[in-house]
Amino acid sequence: MDLEQRLREKIDNLNKPKGSLGRLEELALQIGLIQQTLTPQLCHPVHLLLGADHGIEREGVSVSPRCITWQQMVNFTRGGGGVNMFCRQHGFELHLVDVGVDHDLSDFPQILNRKISPHGTANFLYGPAMTDEQCREALGVGSELVDDAAASGCNILSIGEMGIANTSPSSIWMSLLLDIPLEQCVGAGAGLNDEGIRHKLEVLRAAVAGFERSAHPSLSHDSQNTSDAAREILAYFGGFEMVAAVGAMLRAAELRMVVLVDGFIMTACALMASRLMPTFMDFAIFCHCGDESGHRLMLDGMGARPLLHLGLRLGEGTGALCAFPIVDSAVRMLREMGNFQDNQITKYF
Is 57 an annotated catalytic residue? no
Helix (H) or strand (E) holding 205: helix 194-213
Q: 3-state SS of 57-117? A: HHHCCCCCCCHHHHHHHHHHHCCCCHHHHHHHHHCCEEEEEEEECCCCCCCCCCEEECCCC
Please report how many Cα atoms fall inside a 13 Å half-sphere around the Cα of residue 336, on the Cβ side: 7
**CA dihedral in degrees (122, 123, 126, 129; nearest 10)?**
50
- Enumerate residues 6+ apart whose C-beta is below 8 A from 39: 334, 335
Closest CA to 245 of 227, 228, 224, 259: 259
Helix (H) or strand (E) holding 132: helix 132-151
Q: 289 vs 164, 244, 245, 310, CA distance in Å? A: 20, 22, 19, 8
3-class secondary structure, 261: strand
CB atoms within 10 A of CB 202: 13
**Nearest CA-CA partner of 30 in 295, 281, 307, 289:** 281
Q: Contact at 8 Å (CB) between 260 and 327?
A: yes
**Residue tagged active-site, from 161, 232, 241, 316:** 316
170, 138, 178, 179: which is closest to 56 by C-alpha?
Answer: 170
CA 81/CA 73 separation, integer angstroms: 9
Residue type, 6: R
Active-site residues: which are they?
316
